[in-house]
Structure 1
């Protein structure tokens, strides 16, 4: 249960442990024990307040209570409050245990602060508070000894992948019976209000759900042999400017080097999963990209090498955003890699890797709303010079003669404990039938699944969870000690094809101890399929339970939709499930690759949510987070809270639209008044970027759609201009709704000037359409796109004659126009279609585009349609993300227009019921209301007209029913509390 706020000052102190303020990927345990008095009467009102940097898991007397905090900007951290009276034991020793996962690196969901924990257990009563426990010097702390911090980043958006050594893991560390005598005393680092956590705020969203989901079946079994050597290298951390703390991408000039040692001559294969890969030297031979087999994201070269030591050196330049380089080495004979500096360094085992870093000789950080052409040109020149010099180098002595920095790479930033590269760097893979004894893993049976053992090979099998899920992996098993089990989540497979999550290390590596053991991962993952590889077992591993703890915003599944076309009904279902999985503590773009709150995506996600779930506090939380990025840019970040300083102007504009829509949806005038200064703040900064012709002319990431439209990163982009014109009017609407209409005049007048300028400068009489852009220097684009015309229609910039033309284009795309390229853009396309009465066209478009997803076994909506991306290297690689809520448009439009349920007044006090039937014969469904209750609609049609309509609604809701006179209407009213 959520506790709204802590009303008394914090008595607990911020605490930490160890020697570093912000260590890399450190998981730290904290404990305290206390006596609970027998005569304490108000125990039921015991509340444990807690927050931590970066994330925590909380236990009371061995029971996990919760995890958090919700994402935050460092200066404004949120805290949680849990009622724990039912877990306390009167007259006994009680224990609070906390696992804090500190990232030590900035991501797209977190800005680096420092490690810290703040907690306090209070008994609330009418007479005040009694504090039973609080963080301070009496707490004890220990490193999580079973967690390996020397792991690769999961992705540039997220923190680190996971390796757990069960031999070092104390499962009972959260209980009162555990002995913590060997633990250290925690260090008090400051009081509540200290930097960087200057302000503490109560959690502003309900706690997320935790529902166990079991696999449906085991669908494959393989005998596999991985490459002899695999490793990751954290090039981003190694090549970044020292002390620069952000998540911006970088370009650099650098290289990595190792030595391959062979006792006998052998054929050698080297596989690279490296972004920005340049030349490669292997032994005496230098290879260019053209010399390698395959293409990004994998490149491979083959060579025959004699016995002895051979240099492996490659150049790398970026752009690099936080992903790790990965290398795989295979050979017919035994092979090992050693550091070229091995003889020069005496170090403890496991502290240094076999790699050497060369450079960087040049590095610059890219900020995506400041286009740095001068730095880009300098980098290209430095890149050419660097590669020319490196290409001729064959020894470490020659490297040093160049005067480039040459440093050993520490084990923490490069090692062979990578579970991702072995998933596709395989020398052998043979398929076997799945035995019934293994299938029991998916049978929810008390009998364990038995994993078979292969001689001189590993055992790989794949679990299918039936559909995509998002949450935390748990498992129970029995094994001998020292077996490595790799767990790897993917979203898509087809027959023998596996779509690897390139760009996302979605793995967990677990090393077993002897006997029975269980593990619950604190790292969120999105997946449908789970590939499990058992490595090094000499006897069968017995797996008793595997499950995903599905975790999302607690959205009651009120909304529903069915109709005479089951295909459309299934499309609505996957749109709903997609949106559910992308509702965490904010909306996120996807549950797997990024888990990032992209501001522009969330506008469309909010509308789908209104119709599927009716959630409002998650929308308000998202909207209020956005202005927190003002310290990074007054134009506001396109994803927040994030350390990537990036601006997509349209994403800020969509945020303003969403602010207006939320205020009107809920009828919340207080919100409108509170968010208004932030809306006007960023708009005023955008207005400063208008040129003398009243057009937005700016450098930036000027994105709208993943399609070949002309949207350069500098110049006058038409779709941005029409959106700015629209949100100036939306801002005026927020001003009016907030009760201060006189402030809106400035913005409506500026919108009128922009409209005139757009029509004067951005219209082509020859093509009868708005051109995509005007490039710097005045060159008018020769590209025309449906995207630009759709946004111009929605922004109402065209006069009546031009509007007629644009409306015709909605169902008859002119030859040569760029078509809609993504489901995200389809949302706006459907808005334009429905504004102009083209329901049938929209239904047919859904059947084609979303039907293609269904035909390819989709259970969630894809980021891209699939058939529009066939130019990929593999015809099965249809989209990157297979669960992307920006694509869930049917979840909104089928309810709003086929059911015909829409708001007529702020707060839905009056509701329009205007079903549109298209080629359907019946439909029924439910739409949640922002206040209590919902509206249920059921209709039938015949001979192209509505014949029956039944509406059920709360008695206080006014209904505006718009149906043909011949339609039989039944209205049912329900009382409200």
Structure 2
């Protein structure tokens, strides 16, 4: 559907319901009904304009017509325009129903505003414009009764996991016939233009796809028994100073406690998944360090305890970014936990959990690029003092007398309705063969899958969707009332090993009502495998219609690549699929763990996209979002729009490079001119961090790569300096392309001065290379890395002799140098290999590193190379994220250099065809053009040289073909339709 901008005035007002401006994790339903005029022409255009804070799903007469809005900064929110004329019933009552989901917390894709909905239905018939419905106090609203807001965060980067009670879920609430008589009247909270949504903008990207994907098979069946007690605690919210306006990480000194009650003597086990864990007390014994056994990130203790009440307490310090604390308690006898301050619960009406908070005695919010060493030192001192004071306290009475605040924890921030911890906190797990009746779940059949019942445990089975996907889970069940069905998405398994998504609560807990029911989740998830656990069943559950509605940027899959080495072809395929899954309303780093638009990642993702899908508006949207973070820092954020005020200088520099690449890729000079002021503004801010030697010397997250290179968060980091020098030159190029070169002339001199300073101060004659950094105080790093040398080459810093020396290192890493070790860094490494003409080296590197992924059943590119970064404590733990588009470099390089298709002029008016064969005997494929159409290339090689080449290209495209004189060249031209078509 095309992007629609609103031309008529907004007549509706912002509305909400309830007493809270920004309730935590509230899903709220809205409805209105109206009569559509009988005489309305069938050709009339009806557009439903809508936006909401934080997200919405909208239905017309029971049919879902869209979801949104795209991510935004609160002051500049986007609205959608859905064409709904085909759904209207002339001369009858019609209904608009909206599910608005307000996060109530900030994260990496949303800055907390307040709950709000704005909608208006306009009909355009000839010259007439009629408003049939608009948000106001005539709308009805109700809190979604079946959604439990008291659930944990999915991750610090995203919002909340999901718990749905099907017994309280009205499936027909979107229909015309549903009665909302007992709903409340919506509250008008203000007109268009009110804060925080000062400006409204039309959606600037097409609507995402919705493509149903079915599982391919049931891979396993197990009888499982979870720990008797499991829970989560939102330590971030409880230890943080009041306010959810930011998502910055915090350090603190605090503890949580509960009472474990035993009716008789029992063997007790405790499993903890807690970041920043200190000491743990269970009864009379204190545990710390190596006494907390277990495979990281889990800690485990066990003890034999007598009947009675026992204190369970742990200290925790952070740094904490929003992940929940999780733990489970099991025993071979009956066990329960109770609140240590049960008689002191406040009379607020809010239910309390069985946990209490101790402290915090010290908390501070970490801002990455601000000097906070004094706070850090105070925190480290208080950690020791706090631990020394807490360690001897073995009862609640002792805790009270300690003087630390002892507060009951609300049920909404800690409770036992945790579907994640039971996935690995299991007392028993016994494998069974998968019966044919269960396997039917993975078949598009009228017959449902039958989930077997175990008398002494729950039923767990795993669905394989064939490859990784990203979207919205839907299912249908037929079950008895009150069962718990847990759905848990993971990315990787091998044999009996399951890689749990530690750091991501990728679960949906559903409680059944009697009989047939269906549910469609509005929460985006990424996974390949889906673990389903049916808990408490006394008779078989029937399951049908399980699917993931794959949702991504609607880019046609134009790009193609095949060659004589099937492994390279498969690597290109997974690179393309990875990029697809990481194209949402912006590029995102991964579809599972974060779903975050990381600015630096997106530069590489944009280039891969140009060769696989050809999308341009998603790139422009991403680039335009970045300066919106200027209110947080003039250096611009490393992920936007985000409430984590975080700066990675290189990510801003990569953004400037991407702006120039996009402007030239599309030939869009106006874009270059529009972006130039923001580019120059942030560069001026960075130049204030130059020291007297003309070197960038600053505090920040001075990152380039996940590798053991020396890149401290303070000081003179070489790769960062060379990238600032390059960014200054890129700004000059952008200004020249925009036709306003005078705007950036001053930056040429800064770039030249920086180049001279880098060569004067950061080169080692002894090692014949650039050192990684100079630490504060002047200590020169003893670490030399290929990462630093590659960036110095790409930035054009090295002089001729030094440049030739570094180029030799590309294929012969000097002893002791940190080698290239991640797919992200490989992108820059491959860029330099191609500039040096080392195509064979690149092909072999892809075969080795990406081939290892294929050998381990990868369907998408991993965040890290498993064979270089695997957790040695667990040989199956190969990488965190198994789908990371910053790793999809082959999707670009195989098209740009093996097919050999690259732009020679802006907008691809002239195209270079220069295939590089290496040891390949043939290759063929397709490269999309930015203004429509594509170029097809097919070549063959004999005796190590290209022997024949066939090119199909649009008529207007000029071709610069570079092949050996002996090569047979065939060119086929295709005509293009006029733009009006």
TM bracket (short chain): over 0.9
Q: Distance in 2 between matches of 1:262 and 1:398?
A: 21
Q: Do the aligned residues in 2 keep the contact of 1:121 with 1:134 (CA within 8 Å)?
A: yes
Q: Do the aligned residues in 1 keep the contact of 2:3 with 2:205 (CA within 8 Å)?
A: no
The 3-state SS of whatever aligns with 2:523 is coil
1:357 corresponds to:
357
**Cα drift, residue 869 of structure 1:** 1.2
Q: Do the aligned residues in 2 keep the contact of 1:936 with 1:952 (CA within 8 Å)?
A: yes
Q: CA offsets per residue over residues 186-245 of structure 1, 9 Å max, x none?
A: 000000100000000000000000000000000000000000000000000000011352
Q: Distance in 1 between matches of 2:329 and 2:317?
A: 22
1:886 corresponds to:
886
1:540 corresponds to:
540
The 3-state SS of whatever aligns with 1:714 is coil
1:571 corresponds to:
571
Q: Do the aligned residues in 2 keep the contact of 1:42 with 1:123 (CA within 8 Å)?
A: no
1:331 corresponds to:
331
Q: CA offsets per residue over residues 98-151 of structure 1, 9 Å max, x none?
A: 000000000000000000000000002342420000000000000000000000
Q: Do the aligned residues in 1 keep the contact of 2:276 with 2:317 (CA within 8 Å)?
A: yes
Matches within 5 A, 1:798-837: 798-837=798-837
Q: Distance in 1 between matches of 2:842 and 2:443?
A: 42
**Cα drift, residue 840 of structure 1:** 0.1
2:653 corresponds to:
653
Tell me if 1:214 matches 2:214: yes
Q: Distance in 1 between matches of 2:735 and 2:133?
A: 47
Gaps in structure 2 of 5+ consecutive residues: none
2:73 corresponds to:
73
1:936 corresponds to:
936
2:85 corresponds to:
85
Q: CA offsets per residue over residues 139-165 of structure 1, 9 Å max, x none?
A: 000000000000000000000000000
Q: CA offsets per residue over residues 45-86 of structure 1, 9 Å max, x none?
A: 000000000000000000000000000000000000000000
Q: Do the aligned residues in 2 keep the contact of 1:119 with 1:134 (CA within 8 Å)?
A: yes
**Cα drift, residue 42 of structure 1:** 5.9
TM-score normalised per structure 1: 0.99
1:10 corresponds to:
10
Q: Distance in 2 between matches of 1:387 and 1:295?
A: 24
**Cα drift, residue 343 of structure 1:** 2.2
2:231 corresponds to:
231
**Cα drift, residue 871 of structure 1:** 4.1
Q: Distance in 1 between matches of 2:744 and 2:193?
A: 38
Q: Distance in 1 between matches of 2:346 and 2:387?
A: 31
2:193 corresponds to:
193
Q: 1:476 to 1:11 in 2, by over 3 A?
A: same
Matches within 5 A, 1:913-932: 913-932=913-932
Q: CA offsets per residue over residues 929-959 of structure 1, 9 Å max, x none?
A: 0012000000000001111000000000000
The 3-state SS of whatever aligns with 2:546 is strand
**Cα drift, residue 39 of structure 1:** 1.1
Q: Do the aligned residues in 2 keep the contact of 1:44 with 1:84 (CA within 8 Å)?
A: no
Q: 1:701 to 1:371 in 2, by over 3 A?
A: farther
1:860 corresponds to:
860
Q: CA offsets per residue over residues 324-369 of structure 1, 9 Å max, x none?
A: 0001000000100000001223769971000000111100111112
Q: CA offsets per residue over residues 907-943 of structure 1, 9 Å max, x none?
A: 0000000000000000000000001200000000000
Matches within 5 A, 1:671-750: 671-750=671-750
The 3-state SS of whatever aligns with 2:867 is coil
Q: Distance in 2 between matches of 1:920 and 1:456?
A: 59
2:972 corresponds to:
972
The 3-state SS of whatever aligns with 1:96 is strand
Q: Do the aligned residues in 1 keep the contact of 2:3 with 2:204 (CA within 8 Å)?
A: no
The 3-state SS of whatever aligns with 2:522 is coil
**Cα drift, residue 734 of structure 1:** 0.3
Tell me if 1:111 matches 2:92: no
Q: Distance in 2 between matches of 1:466 and 1:438?
A: 17
Q: Distance in 2 between matches of 1:918 and 1:806?
A: 22
Tell me if 1:404 matches 2:398: no
**Cα drift, residue 659 of structure 1:** 0.1
The 3-state SS of whatever aligns with 2:868 is coil
The 3-state SS of whatever aligns with 1:639 is coil
1:139 corresponds to:
139
Q: Distance in 1 between matches of 2:870 and 2:5?
A: 52
Q: Distance in 1 between matches of 2:247 and 2:295?
A: 27
1:766 corresponds to:
766
Q: Distance in 2 between matches of 1:382 and 1:273?
A: 23
**Cα drift, residue 392 of structure 1:** 1.1
TM-score normalised per structure 2: 0.99
**Cα drift, residue 701 of structure 1:** 0.4
**Cα drift, residue 40 of structure 1:** 1.6
Q: 1:488 to 1:373 in 2, by over 3 A?
A: same
Q: Distance in 2 between matches of 1:783 and 1:801?
A: 22
1:385 corresponds to:
385
**Cα drift, residue 41 of structure 1:** 2.2
Q: 1:200 to 1:349 in 2, by over 3 A?
A: closer
Q: Do the aligned residues in 1 keep the contact of 2:680 with 2:744 (CA within 8 Å)?
A: no
Q: Distance in 2 between matches of 1:86 and 1:343?
A: 60
Q: Distance in 1 between matches of 2:879 and 2:371?
A: 28
**Cα drift, residue 7 of structure 1:** 1.1
Q: CA offsets per residue over residues 639-692 of structure 1, 9 Å max, x none?
A: 000000000000000000000000000000000000000000000000110011
Matches within 5 A, 1:571-650: 571-650=571-650
Number of equivalenced pairs: 977
The 3-state SS of whatever aligns with 1:517 is strand
Q: Do the aligned residues in 1 keep the contact of 2:870 with 2:879 (CA within 8 Å)?
A: no
Q: Do the aligned residues in 2 keep the contact of 1:469 with 1:527 (CA within 8 Å)?
A: yes
Q: CA offsets per residue over residues 714-762 of structure 1, 9 Å max, x none?
A: 0000000000001100000000011111222211111011000000000
**Cα drift, residue 396 of structure 1:** 2.4
1:467 corresponds to:
467
Q: Do the aligned residues in 1 keep the contact of 2:141 with 2:185 (CA within 8 Å)?
A: yes
Matches within 5 A, 1:656-671: 656-671=656-671
Q: Do the aligned residues in 1 keep the contact of 2:278 with 2:316 (CA within 8 Å)?
A: yes
Q: Distance in 1 between matches of 2:915 and 2:595?
A: 36
The alignment's C-alpha RMSD in Å is 0.9
Q: Distance in 2 between matches of 1:871 and 1:583?
A: 29
**Cα drift, residue 870 of structure 1:** 2.9
2:527 corresponds to:
527
1:29 corresponds to:
29
2:253 corresponds to:
253
**Cα drift, residue 2 of structure 1:** 3.3
Q: CA offsets per residue over residues 422-480 of structure 1, 9 Å max, x none?
A: 00000000000000000000011110000000002100000000000000000011000
Question: Mean Cα displacement is larger for which, 663-672 or 282-291?
Answer: 282-291
Tell me if 1:445 matches 2:433: no
Q: Do the aligned residues in 2 keep the contact of 1:2 with 1:82 (CA within 8 Å)?
A: no
Q: Distance in 2 between matches of 1:929 and 1:894?
A: 16
**Cα drift, residue 821 of structure 1:** 1.9
Q: Do the aligned residues in 2 keep the contact of 1:44 with 1:86 (CA within 8 Å)?
A: no
**Cα drift, residue 404 of structure 1:** 1.4
The 3-state SS of whatever aligns with 1:867 is helix
Matches within 5 A, 1:888-903: 888-903=888-903
Q: Do the aligned residues in 2 keep the contact of 1:3 with 1:82 (CA within 8 Å)?
A: no
Q: Do the aligned residues in 2 keep the contact of 1:146 with 1:167 (CA within 8 Å)?
A: yes
Q: Distance in 1 between matches of 2:150 and 2:320?
A: 20
Tell me if 1:850 matches 2:847: no
Q: Distance in 2 between matches of 1:545 and 1:424?
A: 27
